[in-house]
């Protein structure tokens, strides 16, 4: 074990100051900064560590420098290390299929034609890992033969210097990412790497011909590695190996051994699914370093025959181009489907713990904290355990069971049984379009057509409502020449909803036809058709479907779309890929459930499989494509039936992935008569229309004479004010309805009746309408919502922050108690009913993470519930997690900014108002539809501009590690949700336009990114690799626990599936399965608080 470095904060601050001075002087920074880092007074090792346990400590740069020198001077230790690493790799890959490698890549494997690691690592890291192994073997070979061996045979007629190979691999990465300046410096190095070799003191000495070769090499590494975001890894990768402390003739041996240690560590991390992949930390910094190093290299020695100037030459010279083409061919031939998408499964718990912490013969009675378990690593470890053993662990399992052995005993008792899988082979349909530009143009046309269809649905509603009002004989009142009649609103609103619904249904059948099980390429015509229908349905869900939830109207819509759903199903969720969905009689699809019939395989493929739910099932969790659950089964919240799972009937299914834990016998309480419930809901819907009209009328009467009739924008501001005033009037009416129809609800047994179900739905629906409008000015976490919830009867104090009032609906408020706690603004849900019993949940001095679910009867005291978790058991922690308390000055600031925000919102309606007003005056309905559609497009564009402005105000730059103003930060969280959810902005998702928008807002986004997520915020902190697919996931640049707000980079790559969550300080290279949190690489044991990482990242 390596002791914690003393004086770390003071020493690092001094290093920060010195390194900034060095950078400002304009020198290649790597050499100077390395000098500063290895000074003894700045905290070198205090005692030695076992050389064969370096995997645990290699992240620390000081240790790496010491270990590199020790291994270079002790070849016997180096041989032992290589042997142990080979043993680990063999054991870790024993169940991994070996993948054939290209013929001209076999020299990296000493002629072997296949390699299981080839299907596990990405191309660059596979090449680097194997070539560094080859470098170390050449070092050892030189020592044994007492003769320098520095070249490797590529084929019978071709050799390459191992140094050039290592440089060319990084040149290929630079070139493929478009960083030609730095790639040309790598080419410069390869053409000047001639050296004289000799053996001295038993070690190979490589004397470079160019005196400045080593400093250029160090500076070139700095430019390359600014694109890597793990600061500890950056330290070990380019700072320490490039230090100037070894003599120049020993440099390559030190560089090779240091690279070898780092490469082996990253392999171990990757096997546990926790590695942080390369990502663009700062594109501007990378380009600046590349240009600086290019100029410096050319100043040293310029030779037009040797040099490659990217400003004039699009391609490198033939010798370098040959290797770049060869690497590119390897990358193109790789089996992308062979990459790991899930962590390794274990049959032995001890092996799992040992591999996770990288400790041989791990002491299973040692506390988790001493093993180095951080909060994020705990989330990842629970996922690995769930994947390997049929068990679901509570969030506080590592506190309750404080050692591996105690947790092991619990797992053996609680372990359920895995479920069978059935994944028939899918037919491949469609080919990827050869022209990416053509696909992009088709998507842009698709976006414009959705605007047109949305506007087209408004036109018949406008004309039909006007006709119905003109035919009415009852004129209610004349207000400023605005004649209000009873029939206008009750006719126009349903007409618009039904017309847009009809357009959506018709479009689905015309564009897609019937969804069928198949697989297609991203970019194919089938994919583009699916994308267009998916975006249109998304907009329908936002604007119309939300009012259909839980009613027979939703069932009828899906039935007409092709879904096979029994009319008795209680449907509180949205569906896609309708023809592939089947739900049996009496099933209940609760609000937190999800049914997915599509899945992105990787950045190239999309598959469709059917999913089915049997009769009398209760579903709170998620079914992935191909999953099936038979009758009278229960799927718990945040439990996932993974792709192809076949769950038998009468099963209680829990976990992610879900396993059967016990028998279950269907709905235990009397089910209300479904047809009577549906009839009551339809009748209430009609009553609601007239109630809303009455409130609208009262609002107009209150505003009579308040707006000048001759002002150009009078109608616009008049109707916006009427809408908000009507929303305020909904509140007292809805509070009265809650107490009259529901009353005070107490824990205990209950019998569900049709009237009771209908009453709950009515009161909850009115509250959601109120929230949808009122959340525009009054954001989440405002104490205004505490007052509102108190009016409904909730036991909540004024110091708590509840970010999701819409989840705490009136039918549940009596069963929830919140005291001095923080509840995330990202869709936290509460479940209060189990087996015919209502149970009260209590949250005291606790913090509830995003997308979490609090189970029935759960009591949380001084506890942190991580994001996406299902808290199904009561928990008690040790430290109170109190919410942030605003000062009066902050309240005033937030109020002022809110007024400015509302002013911007109002101004954003002016251009579309003028355009639509002109369009609706056209005699031709088609012209009216085009005009209204264009007006909606204009409004979406103006909303984008407001969002960009708010992002820039809330996040002035990605260097901030905490909000500069918490009230403004909270305001932005709410405003960004409003803009993304209440405009037609989601039609841009999945298109290159959204990629460009994220770049404009400061995000680092690669090419071919597909965003079909849920919510984004703090985009300047987003680092999204090329080819990443975000399907139903949340990505934010912050995290919050109680009053502690933290900003930071979030890096994603691969495929992020439904419900997965990436936030500040997290990363993933292989994507995430459904409802999983992205987790960062294991924190260094020398840096348990993250203070070292944060400071280095700031440097």
The CATH number of the domain holding residue 396 is 1.10.1200.10
Mean pLDDT of 200-222: 60
416/211 Cα distance (integer angstroms): 66
Q: For the segment 790-802, what is each residue's pLDDT rounded down to a tens digit?
A: 999 999 998 888 8
Identify whether the C-beta of residue 1080 lies closer than 8 Å to the C-beta of residue 376: yes
Q: Greater confidence, 786 or 1084?
A: 786
218 confidence band (pLDDT: 50, 70, 90): low
The region of weakest confidence among 2-6, 82-86, 776-780 is 2-6
Average of per-residue pLDDT across 70-89: 78
Q: Return the CA Rg of the chain.
A: 31
Q: What is the mean pLDDT of residues 94-104?
A: 77
Q: Are residues 566 and 695 in the same domain?
A: no
Helices (H) and strands (E) in the chain, counts: 32, 51
* Residue 768 scores a pLDDT above 80: yes
Has residue 568 got a pLDDT over 70? yes
Confidence of residue 633 (pLDDT cuts 50, 70, 90): very high
Using CA atoms, how far residue 86 sits from 255, 267, 350, 360, in Å, is 20, 11, 21, 14
Confidence of residue 407 (pLDDT cuts 50, 70, 90): confident
User: Which of 663, 694, 713 delimits the end of a domain?
Assistant: 663
Which residue did the predictor score with more confidence, 349 or 39? 349
pLDDT of residue 385: 85
**Which of 303, 338, 373 finishes a domain?**
338
How far is Cα 786 from Cα 410, in angstroms, rounded to an integer? Answer: 40
* In the predicted structure, residue 27 carries a pLDDT above the cut 50: no
Cα 975 to the chain's mean position, in Å? 20
- Domain ends where: 338, 367, 399? 338
pLDDT of residue 229 exceeding 60:
no
Q: Return the higher-pLDDT residue of 1062 and 689.
A: 1062
Rounded CA separation 237/686 (Å): 67
229 or 853, which is more confident?
A: 853
The answer to whether residue 982 is domain-embedded is no
Q: What is the pLDDT of residue 348?
A: 80
Query: How many other CB atoms are found less than 10 A from the CB of residue 51?
Result: 15
Note the maximum CA span of the chain: 108
DSSP state of 923: S
Claim to verify: residue 155 and residue 260 sit in the same structural domain: yes
**668 in a structural domain:** no
pLDDT of 433 above 60: yes
Q: How confident is the model at residue 1081 (pLDDT cuts 50, 70, 90)?
A: very low
* Cα of 773 vs its chain's centroid, Å: 27
Q: Which of 391-395, 447-451, 724-728 has the lowest mean pLDDT?
A: 391-395
Q: Is pLDDT larger for residue 175 or for residue 449?
A: 449
Q: Which residue range is the domain that position 79 belongs to?
A: 8-338
Q: Is the pLDDT of residue 4 over 50?
A: no
Measure the CA–CA gap between 570 and 552, rounded to whole angstroms.
Answer: 9
What's the confidence (pLDDT) of residue 1094?
Answer: 36
Tell me the pLDDT band of 839, cut-offs 50, 70 and 90. very high
Is residue 472 within 8 A of residue 440, CB to CB? The reply is no
For residue 1083, the model assigns a pLDDT of 29
**Rounded CA separation 419/425 (Å):** 19
- Give the model confidence (pLDDT) of 593-619 as tens digits: 999 999 998 767 899 999 999 999 999
* Burial group, residue 448, by CB count within 10 angstroms (0-12, 13-18, 19+): middle
Asked whether residue 946 is assigned to any structural domain, the reply reads no
Q: Is a pLDDT exceeding 80 seen at residue 50?
A: no
Task: Express each pLDDT in 1009-1020 by its tens digit.
Answer: 999 988 788 898
Question: Is 522 in the same domain as 568?
Answer: yes
pLDDT at residue 240, as a whole number: 46
Q: What is the DSSP letter of 645?
A: B
313 in the same domain as 359: no
Examine the domain organization and report whether 257 and 295 are in the same domain. Answer: yes
In the predicted structure, residue 683 carries a pLDDT above the cut 70: yes
Structure confidence at residue 312 (pLDDT)? 64
Average pLDDT (1024-1035) is 89
Does 595 lie in the same domain as 499?
Answer: yes
Q: Alpha helix locations (H) across 562-630?
A: none
What's the rounded mean pLDDT across residues 443-450?
A: 93
Neighbouring-strand partners of residue 1061: 1034, 1077
Q: Is the pLDDT of residue 189 over 80?
A: no
759 vs 268, higher pLDDT:
759
What distances in angstroms separate CA 173 from CA 125, 277, 390, one per listed residue?
Answer: 10, 13, 41
User: What is the arithmetic mean of pLDDT over 1076-1084?
Assistant: 51
Is residue 419 situated within a structural domain?
no
Mean pLDDT, the chain, integer: 76
Classify residue 963: in a domain, yes or no.
Answer: no
pLDDT of residue 1061: 86
Which DSSP string corresponds to 1014-1049? SEEE-GGGEEE-TT-EEES-EEESEEEETTEEEE--
Banded model confidence at residue 289, pLDDT cuts 50, 70, 90: low
Together in a domain, 197 and 149: yes
Q: Is residue 235 part of a domain?
A: yes
Judge whether residue 230 has pLDDT over 50. Answer: no
DSSP string, 16-55: HHHHHHHHHTTS-HHHHHHHHHT-GGGT--SS---GGGGG
pLDDT category at 657 given cuts 50, 70, 90 is: confident
Is the pLDDT at 77 greater than 60? The verdict is yes
pLDDT at residue 446, as a whole number: 94
Residue 1053 lies in a domain: no
Task: Say what the pLDDT of residue 272 is.
Answer: 54
Q: What are phi and psi of 415, to 5 degrees?
A: -60, 130
Same domain, 356 and 331: no
With beta carbons less than 8 A apart as the criterion, state whether 40 and 34 touch: no
The answer to whether residue 358 sits within a structural domain is yes
> What's residue 274's pLDDT?
46
Whether residues 455 and 561 share a domain: the answer is yes
Average pLDDT, integer, range 854-871: 89
Same domain, 854 and 808: yes
Instruction: Indicate whether 455 and 604 sit together in one domain.
Output: yes
State whether 407 and 440 are in the same domain: no
pLDDT at 557: 96
Structural domains in the chain (count)? 4
Q: What is the pLDDT of residue 512?
A: 94
Backbone phi and psi for residue 802, each to the nearest 5 degrees, phi listed first: -115, 110
């Amino acid at each position: 074990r390596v002791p914690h470095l003393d004086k770390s904060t003071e020493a690092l601050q001094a290093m920060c100051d010195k390194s900034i001075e060095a950078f400002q002087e304009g020198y290649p920074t790597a050499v100077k900064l390395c000098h500063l880092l290895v000074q003894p007074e700045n905290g070198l090792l205090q005692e030695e560590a076992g050389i064969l346990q370096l995997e645990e400590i290699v992240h620390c740069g000081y240790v790496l420098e010491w270990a590199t020198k020790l291994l270079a001077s002790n070849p016997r230790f180096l041989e032992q290390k290589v042997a142990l690493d080979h043993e680990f790799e063999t054991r870790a890959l024993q169940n991994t299929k070996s993948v054939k490698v290209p013929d001209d890549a076999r020299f990296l494997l000493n002629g072997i034609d296949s390699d299981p690691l080839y299907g596990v690592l990405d191309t660059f890291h596979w090449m680097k890992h194997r070539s560094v192994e080859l470098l170390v073997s050449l070092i050892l070979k030189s020592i044994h033969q007492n003769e320098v061996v520095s070249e490797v045979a590529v084929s019978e007629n071709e050799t390459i210097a191992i140094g050039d190979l290592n440089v060319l691999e990084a040149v290929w990465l630079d070139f493929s990412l478009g960083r030609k300046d730095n790639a040309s410096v790598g080419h410069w190095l390869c053409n000047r790497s001639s050296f004289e070799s000799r053996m001295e003191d038993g070690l190979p000495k490589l004397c470079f011909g160019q005196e400045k070769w080593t400093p250029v090499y160090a500076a070139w590494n700095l430019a390359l590695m600014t694109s890597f975001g793990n600061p500890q890894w950056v330290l070990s990768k380019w700072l320490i190996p490039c230090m100037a402390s070894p003599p120049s003739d020993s440099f390559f041996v030190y560089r090779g051994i240091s690279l070898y240690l780092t490469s082996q560590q990253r392999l171990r991390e990757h096997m546990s699914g926790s590695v942080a992949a390369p990502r663009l930390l700062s594109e501007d910094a990378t380009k600046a370093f590349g240009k600086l190093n290019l100029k410096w290299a050319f100043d040293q020695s310029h030779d037009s025959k040797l040099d490659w100037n990217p400003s004039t030459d699009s391609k490198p010279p033939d010798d370098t181009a040959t290797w770049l083409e060869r690497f590119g061919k390897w990358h193109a031939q790789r089996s992308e489907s062979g990459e790991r998408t899930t962590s390794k499964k274990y049959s032995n718990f001890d092996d799992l713990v040992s591999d996770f912490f990288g400790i041989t013969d791990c002491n299973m009675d040692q506390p988790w904290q001493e093993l180095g378990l951080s909060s994020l690593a705990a989330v990842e470890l629970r996922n690995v355990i769930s994947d390997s053993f049929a068990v679901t662990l509570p969030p506080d399992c590592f506190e309750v069971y404080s050692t591996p052995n105690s947790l092991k005993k619990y797992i053996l008792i609680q372990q359920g049984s895995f479920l069978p899988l059935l994944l028939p082979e899918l037919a491949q349909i469609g080919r990827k379009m050869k022209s990416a530009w053509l696909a992009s143009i088709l998507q842009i046309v698709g976006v414009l057509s959705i605007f047109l269809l949305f506007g087209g649905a408004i036109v018949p509603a406008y004309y039909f409502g006007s006709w119905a009002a003109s035919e009415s004989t009852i004129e209610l009142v004349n207000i400023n020449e605005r004649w209000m009649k009873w029939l206008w609103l009750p006719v126009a609103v349903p007409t618009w909803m039904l017309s847009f619904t009809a357009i959506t249904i018709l479009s689905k059948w015309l564009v897609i036809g019937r969804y069928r099980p198949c697989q297609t390429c991203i970019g194919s015509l089938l994919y583009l058709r699916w994308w267009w229908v998916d975006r249109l349905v998304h907009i329908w869900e936002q604007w119309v479907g939300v009012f259909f939830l839980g009613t027979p109207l939703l069932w009828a819509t899906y039935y007409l779309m092709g879904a096979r759903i029994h009319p008795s199903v209680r449907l509180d969720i949205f569906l896609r890929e309708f023809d592939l969905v089947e739900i049996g009689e009496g099933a209940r699809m609760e609000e937190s459930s999800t049914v997915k019939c599509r899945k992105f395989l990787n950045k190239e493929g999309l598959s469709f499989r059917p999913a089915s739910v049997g009769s009398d099932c209760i579903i709170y969790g998620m079914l992935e494509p191909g999953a099936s659950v038979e009758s009278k089964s229960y799927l718990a919240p945040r439990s996932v039936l993974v792709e192809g799972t076949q769950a038998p009937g009468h099963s209680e299914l829990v976990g992610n992935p879900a396993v059967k834990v016990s028998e279950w016998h269907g709905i235990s309480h009397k089910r209300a008569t479904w047809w009577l419930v549906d009839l009551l809901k339809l009748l209430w819907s009609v009553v609601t229309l007239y109630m809303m009209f009455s409130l609208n009328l009262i609002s107009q009467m209150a505003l009579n004479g308040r707006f000048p009739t001759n002002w150009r924008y009078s109608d616009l501001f008049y109707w916006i004010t009427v809408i908000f005033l009507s929303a305020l009037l909904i509140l007292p009416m809805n509070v009265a309805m809650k107490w009259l129809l529901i009353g005070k609800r107490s824990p205990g047994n209950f019998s569900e009746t049709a009237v009771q179900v209908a009453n709950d739905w009515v009161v909850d629906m009115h509250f959601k309408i109120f929230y949808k409008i009122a959340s525009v000015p009054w954001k989440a976490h405002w104490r205004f919502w505490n007052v509102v919830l108190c009016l409904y009867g909730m036991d909540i104090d004024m110091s708590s922050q509840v970010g999701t009032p819409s989840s705490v609906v009136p039918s549940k408020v009596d069963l929830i108690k919140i005291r001095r706690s923080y509840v995330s603004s990202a869709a936290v849900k509460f479940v209060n009913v189990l087996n015919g019993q209502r149970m009260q949940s209590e949250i005291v001095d606790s913090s509830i993470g995003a997308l979490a679910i609090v189970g029935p009867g759960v009591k949380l005291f001084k506890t942190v519930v991580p994001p996406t978790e299902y808290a199904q058991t009561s928990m008690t922690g040790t430290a109170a997690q109190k919410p942030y308390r605003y000062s009066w000055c902050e309240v005033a600031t937030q109020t002022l900014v809110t007024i400015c925000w509302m002013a911007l919102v109002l101004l954003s309606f002016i251009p579309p108002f003028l355009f639509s007003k002109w369009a609706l005056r056209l005699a031709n309905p088609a012209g009216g539809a085009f005009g209204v559609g264009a007006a909606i497009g204009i409004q979406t564009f103006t909303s984008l501009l407001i969002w960009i402005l708010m992002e820039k105000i809330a996040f002035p730059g990605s260097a901030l590690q905490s909000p500069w103003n918490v009230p403004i930060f909270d305001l932005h969280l709410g405003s960004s949700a409003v803009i993304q959810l209440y405009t037609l902005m989601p039609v841009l998702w999945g298109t290159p336009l959204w990629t460009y928008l994220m770049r404009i807002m400061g995000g680092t986004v690669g090419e071919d990114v597909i965003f079909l997520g849920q919510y984004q915020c703090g985009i300047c902190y987003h680092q999204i690799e090329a080819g990443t697919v975000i399907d139903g996931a949340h990505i934010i640049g912050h995290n919050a626990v109680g009053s502690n707000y933290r900003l930071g980079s979030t890096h994603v790559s691969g495929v992020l599936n439904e419900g997965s969550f990436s936030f500040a300080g997290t990363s993933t290279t292989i994507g995430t399965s459904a409802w999983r949190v992205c987790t960062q690489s294991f924190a260094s044991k020398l840096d348990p608080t993250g203070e070292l990482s944060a400071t280095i990242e700031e440097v």
